[in-house]
Structure 1
Amino acid sequence: MKEKREHTRLHYEVIIVGGGQAGLSVSHYLQKHGIDHMIFEKHRIGHSWRNQRWDSFCLVTPNWQCRLPDFPYPGNDPQGFMLKDEIVEYIEAFRSKVNPPIMEGVSVSRVYRGKNGGFNVTTSAGEFTADHLIIATGGYDIPIVPDYAHSLPGHIKQIHSVNYRNPKQLPEGEVLVVGSGQSGVQIMEDLHLAGRKVHLAVGNAPRSPRMYRGRETTEWLYDLGFYELTIDRHPLGDEAKHKTNHFLTGRDGGHEIDLRKFALSGVKLYGSMANIQGTRLEFQTDLTKNLDDADEIYVNIRNDIDRYIASNNISAPVEAPFRKAWEPEFDPVSIDADAENITSIVWAIGFRPNYRWIELPAFDGRGYPQFDRGVTHVEGLYFIGLPWLHTWGSGRFLGIADDAEYLSGLIHDKLLVKS
């Protein structure tokens, strides 16, 4: 199919928007098929890892799960957890291997259907067209900060987790972290280890063991087939795409995070954030429920592993049953930030995708793309790199290769038919 490159260079068989690990993975397979394509990357490859993570950031999944296409983790610590700079090095090394056709520093502002049935792509480098379009920008575009945050007095600093780097950037005093997903609990721990007094508004994120019965939990889950579970087989169906990931950490060799134990160490816990009125911070009365729900998932994972060990006659150490380390006496309703000496708030409640630049009927009422394994109902439009694109591993280094190979193969077959 390379003979089509004789056309103007403003047209490509495939345009990929986004040059992260997902976009690079697709390029790897498209090149194997000899398919003419171009990647537009708004920033520099590795931008989000390099510029939108805190200083002590590391992976929460072990290095052995880093399996980009034909490029598994090359280091000597497969059980470890790559730090931010190491992740960037891994992606840059993958880029060197793939040697993709890419235009960095080029943003895409509009995508719409062309007169001849293909796609028109408006970029900061000009107008382009394509027969097929792959969106590999991820879903972490707009940091979520609630509207009521505007009522917080100016003397209390507030930032989103995407802008958090280290405890020193926050003013002296106590810190409220809002959100208990992976970012929230890791930032909470980062502050706590630095000796800062921390408050945490606990949401409904589930948690996971790190080690269990003599083995890292993700190894057990891999053997159980959890990472190969497809979205169509998930009990929650498409709603699983909107669920928060289990929290734990890879810091200092990896460990689980039990918020009850942090409460015993001085971290003050509250329920989900509900409102702000001046210095008055209000919370929902769901702290007990959120802690219990997270522990229920934690115990369920242990039980799944227990059953797997028993059914396969595996010899493994036996561990004591789970016991709650701490119980809240009541669910706090509100506190006064000034009275508690809270001088800063870190919002860690996630992101919203921004696909408004895609003028195609591929989205649901909430603005999320609709697809089946990345293939939309709009002929020639695809998504990749999103959680639960196909499996639990789709949004991770572990599962991108399978998704990229599938989409590139599908496009290859369609181009063959067309030719």
Structure 2
Amino acid sequence: MTEHVAVAVVGGGQAGLAMSWHLRALGVDHVVFERSRVGHEWRERRWDSFCLVTPNWQCRLPGYAYTGDDPDGFMAGPQVVTFLERYAASFGPPLREGVAVHRLRRTPAGLFELLTSAGRYTADQVVVATGPYHRPAVPRVAERLPAHIAQVHSSQYRNPAQLPGGPVLVVGTGQSGCQIAEDLHLAGRPVHLAVGGAPRAARRYRGRDTLAWLDAMGHYDRGVDEFGDADEVRLRANHYMTGRDGGRDIDLRRFALEGMRLYGRLATVEPGRATFADDLAANLDRADAVAEGIKDAIDGYIARNAIDAPGEPRYTPVWRPQETVAELSLDGVAAVVWSTGFHRDHRWVEVPVFDGRGYPTHERGVTGCPGLYFLGLPWQHTWGSGRFAGVARDAAFLAARITATRRRQITEGVSWLAGTPTETYPDLEWAA
């Protein structure tokens, strides 16, 4: 038996729930499919000491916001799960947990067909709210590591005790790689860290959290279309810092002073050794330059607005590599943690809305296929699109498009409940 809904939302994380809140407020018939439970990604893909990098005051969803006693703090993983569970309970979305969507296609009649673990559904419109982090990205070079070395992706890492005793090589210095390297370092584990090109940012500057300054400066309201290289902006690594222990900088140079071994990018794995690119100094300098550039922007904002803010000395590098360390013997390495990100996996979406890299082509989440939308992508519209901070605005935007599409369907003689269109939609110009 096939069940029909006006709108199907795929994904029950913060994006899917935010979408459901707006649809419910507008009285739109819909269902939210979640393959596991609310908060699944936060339960299953975070290590034990994980904390948000964004402060609690940025945790706001439609009709709901953080109300605890530590707005400038950083929620730990279990607290994020509780936050989402309470959000769902606050408005009772039509949520179907434990239902995976295996296939989405457009039928000859113009409907969307969803083949799920609970049967077949059709929908007039669909919102894909599954985020961008689908399949762990592990480079093929991992296949060349000796059998004695344990390997885990950052999504599988939980704590230092999970790994066999001995030195650990962490590959990648985005937010996850740097925080996992710190976690191991604080536990007294010998750490080798392959440093990539991710930027960093100071946790606090001139009396406030850096993100609070950027929020006041309107940085999070800038649309991706304001940048000349929008496609590249969407692919940039996030700045590394941490919310652990109340929040602090992550300074890889200080880790090196304390005994962590730093290398350039991992280049190859050969019998008995790993080799690295000669770019460690450049990568560290580039990360520092980004952090100092953010401080320059804050200084300018303070000066232009005559804000009374305390002064603060600028960062001075505490360590510099004196020589290039091009290789590491693998004989004593016990484990490798691959902090190398994720691949998008939209193979289940059998609608031609993707570019050559597999990225959905869209304008603020509205694709070229009428009635198909994406929500919760990094930089979908602003910096906060893939986060608690901005997904509500994107969900509201799509809700307006969905209701406009519904009105058009009704006007043109489409049976909304039966889902039997009488004509083909020409394009999306009417909804621009």
Confirm or deny a common fold (TM above 0.5): yes
SS at match of 1:269: strand
SS at match of 2:184: helix
Partner of 1:389: 380
Partner of 1:373: 364
Partner of 2:205: 212
RMSD: 1.0
Alignment of 1:79-158 (within 5 A): 79-158=72-151
Q: Is the 8 A contact 1:177 1:348 kept in 2?
A: yes
SS at match of 2:366: coil
CA-to-aligned-CA distance 1:246-279 (integer Å, 9 cap, x gap): 0000000000111111110111000111111233
Partner of 1:65: 58
Alignment of 1:291-370 (within 5 A): 291-338=284-331, 341-370=332-361
SS at match of 1:81: coil
Distance 2:107 2:62 in 1: 32
Q: Is the 8 A contact 1:24 1:98 kept in 2?
A: no
Distance 1:23 1:214 in 2: 36
Q: Is the 8 A contact 1:27 1:98 kept in 2?
A: no
Give how far 1:9 is off. 7.1
What letter corresponds to residue 381 of structure 2 in structure 1?
Answer: H
CA-to-aligned-CA distance 1:294-342 (integer Å, 9 cap, x gap): 011000000000000000111111111321111101232111111xx21
Distance 2:120 2:38 in 1: 22
Q: Is the 8 A contact 2:199 2:238 kept in 1?
A: yes
Between 1:171-180 and 1:272-281, the stretch displaced more is: 272-281
Q: Which runs of 4+ in 1 moved over 3 A?
A: none
Distance 1:288 1:138 in 2: 34
Distance 1:66 1:230 in 2: 20
Distance 1:303 1:59 in 2: 25
Give how far 1:11 is off. 0.6
Question: What TM-score does the superposition give when structure 2 sets the normalisation length?
Answer: 0.93
SS at match of 2:367: coil
Question: What TM-score does the superposition give when structure 1 sets the normalisation length?
Answer: 0.96
What letter corresponds to residue 416 of structure 1 in structure 2?
Answer: R
Distance 1:68 1:134 in 2: 17
SS at match of 2:126: strand
Does 2:156 correspond to 1:163? yes
Out of 160, 182, 187, which is 1:194 matched to? Answer: 187
Distance 1:359 1:330 in 2: 51
CA-to-aligned-CA distance 1:6-31 (integer Å, 9 cap, x gap): xx971111001111110000000001
Structure 2 gaps of 5+ residues are 411-432
Distance 1:309 1:399 in 2: 24
Distance 1:238 1:263 in 2: 34
Does 2:283 correspond to 1:290? yes
Partner of 2:11: 18
Q: Is the 8 A contact 1:231 1:240 kept in 2?
A: yes
CA-to-aligned-CA distance 1:369-388 (integer Å, 9 cap, x gap): 11110001111110001100
Partner of 1:418: 409
Give how far 1:110 is off. 0.8
Out of 224, 234, 237, which is 1:244 matched to? Answer: 237
Partner of 1:3: none
What letter corresponds to residue 206 of structure 1 in structure 2?
Answer: P
Give how far 1:98 is off. 2.5
Q: Is the 8 A contact 1:40 1:108 kept in 2?
A: yes
SS at match of 1:163: coil
Q: Is the 8 A contact 1:135 1:383 kept in 2?
A: yes
Partner of 1:222: 215
SS at match of 1:159: strand
What is the total number of aligned residue pairs between the two structures?
A: 410
- Percentage of matched positions with identical amino acids: 52
Residues 235 and 332 of structure 1: CA distance in aligned 2, closer, same or farther (over 3 Å): farther
What letter corresponds to residue 78 of structure 1 in structure 2?
Answer: P
